[in-house]
Amino acid sequence: MYNSNRGRIIQIIIGVIFSLIILQLVSLQIFSSKYVLAANNNAIFRKIIYPDRGIIFDRKKRALLENTISYDLVVIPNEAKGVDTATLCSILNIDKEEYSKRMIEVIVKNSRVKSGIFEPFLSTEVYAQITENLYRLPGFSLTERSIRNYPYNTAAHVLGYVAEVDVKFLEKHAEEGYEMGDYAGMTGLEKQYESILMGQRGVKRYLRDNKGKIQGAFEKGQFDTAAIAGRNLYTSMDVEVQQLAEKLLQHKIGSAVAINPKTGSIIAMASSPGYNPNLLTGNQRRKTIGRLLTDTARPIYNRAIKGQYPPGSTFKPMGALIALDEGLITPSFGYNCFGLYTACGDPRKCEHHNAGHAANLQLALANSCNSYFLQVFRMAIDNPKYHNAKLGYLKWKEYVNGFGLGRKLGIDLPSENRASIPDTAQYNKDFGGAKFWNSCYMLTLGIGQDRMTATPLQLANAMAFIANQGYYYTPHFVDSVEEEDETDKEVLAKFRTKQAVTKIPKEYFDIIKEGMYGVTVFGTAAFIKVPGHEFCAKTGTAQNPHGKNHSLFVCFAPKDNPKIAVAVVVENAGFGATWAGPIGGLLMEKYLNDTLTKESKTKVDYLSNVDLMPAAIKDWYIRNNKTEMLTPHNYNNDELSDIWDMEMVSETAPIQPKIDTLSKIDTFQKNKVPPAPIPVPQKNKENALTPSHKKKKHISKQNDI
């Protein structure tokens, strides 16, 4: 047998080739992990199971928002053969072109074999028509989805809205497992408590074939996780008070905040103009969101936590408190005001000139004497204890910050504004150094003007602070969470501990309370009554760079056992007592008595129809063909007086200012109140005068908002 060694060679060749194959198998199966991933990407289809979002309740366990089912019309393009397009188009009110356009969109997004959304959020009529005709629409089907619903049409700013996540959101929350097409809370409580409300999404894994068709559960579902429903939030809000606040503020720009001082829980928070939260859910959203975002009155903007307003006279009780604690004045301290404050050169006006209207602290508060509080402010800044104005100012600022002004309070809503209590640095800059200024230079800080601003929330909180005689709880909505766990307790802990406990003795607070009580008995707010309750209040009429004065009102009630503290701001409306005052009074009445008297109801009807929209905004509506936004009502002051049955307290009767009646000031931003540059004379009001060496600056024509 010759050549038999060639058999051996053939064996070797075979062996070598087999070894090569085995080497390749080693590299593929043992040393490459990417193939398992590739196989899983191919074949495992993860389906997210969305739990129902948690519900938010008010103090009487009424649901401020809940979930309802909405239906989407979905289609599997490959199976959509022999569709009665004419019927479908007429139901959806589209044409054939739009039909094929949408079909192509679905194919591009989800391929031919997977179902894609043809029309989201069907209205009930359309849903009914589609179900009737579904047999004519092969390949089409209806799928449920859970959307928000607001049974009381209220508290839109507070609750916020949910919306589909965008690329930015996904980048920001990369680790939290959101995916394209998910919905998440974008504003308000929905955003703040997203992780609690959202619950835990479940994942189901399916096996998918090469055409994307589902073959069944992957590994019999042993890797699937169940969806856990979102947990509910319990707040101390009162739907009825909230609705009342919104009603009273309609056709006005402004805000109202009511806090329960005993707990810091917010009872109501309204911002006007607002919007009906139901307009931002389902198929309404597309139509509404653009209109809301472009509206010059900014209905989406929550003025209660973002609006910065000069507090005006509502700051006076706090100024007095500082002076009392510093031992600069006693309750019997009086100031001989004859209508002008002249100690700093240029005279500042006071609305009262009858002798003795500021004979003691209570009288000064009740009558809102400007001169008195300017003097008190100067005493605090120029306090000999602190050697110079700068240190005096710093001490004063420390007090004011302690009242919760000029800093974020930490409310459980996103993007709270800290407003402004100016820093000495700003004055150093303005006046060329610390040496060059003294209490006269920022004199009107003492009456809540100059660069001082506060949000309505801060003002309401300051009232809670006074009502509590020296402490407050961080204002918040959520009192408790369903099935509270450790993390939730940590989050809520700061709402359950006393904040800003001050060393100011309680008796000083009593003095201030008496003064504010005086306001409601014989002072600027004497005509406002809360049936069955004594209450404390302070009116404010704040100059601002945007035109007519803001009307402010802060109060708390009952006087001896405060259960509610309220701050109301109505922009460019005029006197504090005229507009903000009655709103505050009605809110307290509603909360404390749970009902309104017949008289009060008449007032509500009237007030809610009063149109105080600034002319500039009305002009904008007309210019932009949005006349439907205009309200037909025009208020009539005489009629109003009849209803109030009172003489209008002339808190701020206009007089002719001595200087430059035409001077106006800059407008910085729409609607927002910028730190007032330098107090500049305006044609009126509480503190019409300013150091003359400053008046030439910042003089320009004020234009629209």
4 interacts with other proteins by CB under 8 A: yes
Question: Closest CB to other proteins among 219 and 534?
Answer: 219
Question: Closest CB to other proteins among 18 and 436?
Answer: 18
Say whether 636 sits in a helix, a strand or coil. Answer: coil
The interface region with other proteins, picked from 29-37, 127-135, 374-382, 539-547 by CB under 8 A, is 29-37
Question: Closest CB to other proteins among 207 and 521?
Answer: 207
Question: Closest CB to other proteins among 71 and 218?
Answer: 218
Exactly one of 158, 178, 210, 704 binds other proteins (CB under 8 A); that residue is 210
The dihedral over CA atoms of 276, 280, 282, 288, expressed in degrees to the nearest 10, equals 100
685 interacts with other proteins by CB under 8 A: no
Cα separation, 213 vs 298, in Å, equals: 47
Question: x/- contact string, 151-190, with other proteins (CB under 8 A)?
Answer: ----------------------------------------
CB of 265 to other proteins, least distance (A): 53
598 interacts with other proteins by CB under 8 A: no
Report the run of H or E that residue 544 belongs to, with start and end.
strand 536-544
Q: How many residues bind other proteins (CB under 8 A)?
A: 39
Half-sphere CA count of 487, side-chain side, radius 13 A? 3
The interface region with other proteins, picked from 15-23, 253-261, 478-486, 563-571 by CB under 8 A, is 15-23
12 interacts with other proteins by CB under 8 A: no
The residues near 599 (Cβ < 8 Å, ≥ 6 apart) are none
φ/ψ (deg, to 5) at 401: -60, -35
Question: Closest CB to other proteins among 23 and 655?
Answer: 23
Question: Closest CB to other proteins among 20 and 142?
Answer: 20
CB of 212 to other proteins, least distance (A): 10
Q: HEC string of 120-137?
A: CCCCHHHHHHHHHHHHHC
Interactions with other proteins, residue window 217-256 (CB under 8 A): 218-219
25 interacts with other proteins by CB under 8 A: yes
Structure letter (DSSP) for residue 218: G
The interface region with other proteins, picked from 94-102, 213-221, 498-506, 594-602 by CB under 8 A, is 213-221
Exactly one of 114, 208, 298, 550 binds other proteins (CB under 8 A); that residue is 208
The interface region with other proteins, picked from 39-47, 248-256, 335-343, 509-517 by CB under 8 A, is 39-47
Helix axes 506-521, 456-467, angle to 10 degrees: 110
Buried b / exposed e over 268-280, threshold 16 CB at 10 Å, is bbbbbbbbebbbb
Contact 450, 679 (CB under 8 A): yes
Question: Closest CB to other proteins among 32 and 90?
Answer: 32
The dihedral over CA atoms of 133, 134, 140, 146, expressed in degrees to the nearest 10, equals 100
CB of 16 to other proteins, least distance (A): 10
Cα separation, 589 vs 558, in Å, equals: 10
Question: Closest CB to other proteins among 177 and 212?
Answer: 212
Cα separation, 490 vs 504, in Å, equals: 30
209 interacts with other proteins by CB under 8 A: yes
Q: Return the structure tokens found at 698.
A: 């910042």
303 interacts with other proteins by CB under 8 A: no
39 interacts with other proteins by CB under 8 A: yes
Half-sphere CA count of 259, side-chain side, radius 13 A? 31
φ/ψ (deg, to 5) at 311: -70, -20
Sign of the Cα pseudo-torsion (424, 426, 430, 434, in order): positive
The interface region with other proteins, picked from 14-22, 47-55, 476-484, 604-612 by CB under 8 A, is 14-22
Cα separation, 357 vs 367, in Å, equals: 7
CB of 34 to other proteins, least distance (A): 7
Interactions with other proteins, residue window 356-395 (CB under 8 A): none
Using alpha carbons, select from 310, 296, 239, 298 the residue that is nearest to residue 271: 298
Exactly one of 22, 226, 228, 653 binds other proteins (CB under 8 A); that residue is 22
114 interacts with other proteins by CB under 8 A: no
Structure letter (DSSP) for residue 494: T
Say whether 267 sits in a helix, a strand or coil. Answer: strand
CB of 29 to other proteins, least distance (A): 4
Beta-sheet strand order (sheet of 547-557): 265-272, 254-260, 564-570, 547-557, 536-544
11 interacts with other proteins by CB under 8 A: yes
Question: Closest CB to other proteins among 7 and 432?
Answer: 7
Using alpha carbons, select from 379, 376, 383 the residue that is nearest to residue 360: 376
The interface region with other proteins, picked from 201-209, 226-234, 364-372, 478-486 by CB under 8 A, is 201-209
* Chain residues that interact with other proteins, rule: CB under 8 A: 1, 3-4, 6-7, 9-11, 14-15, 17-18, 20-22, 24-26, 28-30, 32, 34-36, 38-40, 42-44, 207-210, 215-216, 218-219
